[in-house]
Structure 1
Amino acid sequence: MESSFDEKELGLASLKLGLKMDQEGEDPEKTLAFANRALKALDKNDKPSLLVAMALQLMGSANYSLKRFNDSLGYLNRANRVLARLEEEGSCSVDDIRPVLHAVQLELANVKTAVGRREEALVNLTKCLEIKEMTLEKDSKELGAAYRDLAEAHTAVLNFKEALPFCLKALEIHKKQLGHNSVEVAHDRRLLGVVYTGLEEHQKALEQNELSQKVLKNWGLSSELLRAEIDAANMQIALGKFDEAINTLKGVVQRTDKESENRALVFISMAKALCNQEKFADSKRCLEIACGVLDKREMVSPVEVAEAYMEISMQYETMNEFETAISLLKRTLAMLEKLLQEQHSEGSVSARIGWLLLLTGKVAQAIPYLESAAERLKESFGSKHFGVGYIYNNLGAAYLELDRPQSAAQMFAVAKDIMDVSLGPHHADSIEACQNLSKAYGAMGRYG
């Protein structure tokens, strides 16, 4: 009896120490050792308890810090099940369960984001917000931050329509609590600008950007102000105000460091404005300068550089420089393959390479890129995401081109199913997938 009491005490002490170390970001190996000791001491029978859930959450958190993502998911999912049983049985107060449940859901979102499963992470972040809505004052700053976090997560997977209401709620709370000139409000407005750009409401985006810039200027946040000015130039380009955009960028470029990513971004935007004015030689010169800067930043900021290369490749594509675009995308893909959390970007780049190879008649080369893209995007966004549908449509077109109508029909059928679910059967792309399927069946008849 005494030894079992001692063991439970030891487990509790280990749990407290582990949680403290985890909170302070100390050595995750030591945290894991305490978590393990706590779990062994507390998890003695099949009966669920809040302490076991807390130990499991700590195991998940420590494994996440050590980049052992599969182990982390295993412990966190088990913690989730324990908490669900406690709530079901009513053996523990809901007020005690909620903070632990929030920690588990947040950690699940972090792990899934780290392995590129961003669509699934959104489900966990939404649950985190629901818990905060139940436990916090309706206008608290913390709730405002939670709304913005969810808006950012939706924006990262291009769900701009879903991001908008959360971003507006965050802005409303921060204006009320901190005033119009707070940095938080400036950050909300900058994000709102990105969301409106995604929704192609460029004038609204520019208005939010200008309001954000005023605050950033007042606070002397020069680096963030530079990014906001580059965003403004891109919005001006989207509105067809090319000369205004070029003037904005000329003002910005003088304030950037020669080797900085900001300088590269200025030249990418400048190239876009010049390309729209059909000044292709000048546009290419700007892109070459940008690539020269980015080349030296690949090891320092791989994610930002990869995103910039994607943008540059799209501009070469616009100027019908397909070989250069493909070459840059292959370079981008090699960078992204080393970054587990960028699996969704890896899928998008792979899809783009496949599409460009298809466009330039290199059909057999396109197929492995498209197949890889379909797998990556299914893992990131789920099997019924419209982006996956477009890839299967392209795969169908590739097989049809190679006189393999049976394979083409299979791909078009999958594309049609996805489009019907994600876009609705009457959407133009769903109808096109249906027509492609008929074409493949027609070809099968000819070869039959």
Structure 2
Amino acid sequence: MQVERTGPLGESSEQLGELAQQLGDEKHAGHVELAVIGLGYVGLPLAREAAAVGLRVAGLDRDPRVVEALNAGHSHVDDVSDEDVRRMRAAGFTAYTDDACLARAQTVVICVPTPLSEDGGPDLSAVISAARAVAGRLRRGQLVVLESTTYPGTTDEVVRPLLEESGLKVGKDVALAFSPERIDPGNTTHGLRGTPKVVGGCTPSCAARAVAFYGKLVDTVVQAKGTREAEMAKLLENTYRHVNIALVNELAILCQELHVDVWDAIRCAGTKPFGFQAFRPSAGVGGHCIPIDPNYLSYKVRSIGYEFRFVELAREINAHMPEYVVRRAQDLLNHQGRALHGSRVLLLGVTYKPDVADMRESPAAPVARLLRAREAEIAFHDPYVPLWSVDGVTVPRVGDPAAAVREHDLTILLQDHSAYDLPALADEARLLFDTRGRIFRPGVEVL
């Protein structure tokens, strides 16, 4: 394992190490080395990697359907196959809905969702609930790690006091750290083991415990100065993408008015071997990270009396893209002598990224909502989505996209799944609007 340190270690971790060893050496029935709270896109791959290196793993999830399926050998996460789950089960993995399993774990990692609340601020209810569950089962020598994305200060200001309600002290009796998840659904090149893991501890001894734990699972551990720096690192990564996507999205709108091919401009700029990274326009941003995480940073900055203007502007631009896509669609139909009202519109690909079933924050939903508001008749196809509803209303799903594009007045490509034969669809479609920049030929309109 390679360890990179960005801050001083300072104190010794001998006391916590001895406590952890005592906990690990206990021979009571059912002892596990890792308990993962939240068995979704982050927690389940972590549990799989831990089981693969020989750790005894337990999982905790509040959804009984998820727990039942996992214990039966079935996965609900794109990046974890049923065969992966069966191997985990064979290695001793068991999923639970009862938090009693936490008391038997040497390390507990919290991987619960952190969505936005109705007022746009962070919703930490799942984190708080998980921390309270851990506190109720906390034992001397345990390591607790928060992986859920949040604003700087959460680990120390929210999780730590909840754990210490147990009477045990962080840095003395138990260890507490933050390690931001870096899971990229559908990415087969950069998996958990090969992606450097950032770790920040509440104290140097806490950091040492967390570094030692993650060193079993990943090739490189990067030690941050503290929990706040580790929390900020995650927000910085996603804010960087959020702002740059907003830049090219606004550029796409301007290039349309200037009669400039934005895709070709990006292609040419991308040939520069330094100082430039290519980002590409789209109908909006999706997934949990990019549209959500920068708002955590913006919230924290506002709480100290400042504005994070880059984030606010990027959010405004990216949120406008579905409206822009629908306006372009309306213009395309108008040029064909048709109104959007009453036209049959087919949406191809409604997940937030290619070749995954993940629909979190997908821009397809606001696009569909806006089309409905203009009284278009919409249908969809997605090889990963058998059923889709927007605002509680089911959107009809077509079976054969090649036949469907011939029957619809307009087809909008929102996600370029590899299962789609895009040239063939372009040949068959009455009118095709490509928001992904994949089909460059006469008769196809590109964002």
TM-score of the two chains, using structure 1 as the length reference: 0.31
**Structure showing greater relative contact order (alpha-carbon pairs closer than 8 Å, 6 or more residues apart):** 2
User: Which structure shows the bigger proportion of residues in helix conformation?
Assistant: 1
- Structure number with bigger Rg: 1
TM-score of the two chains, using structure 2 as the length reference: 0.31
User: Which structure shows the bigger proportion of residues in strand conformation?
Assistant: 2
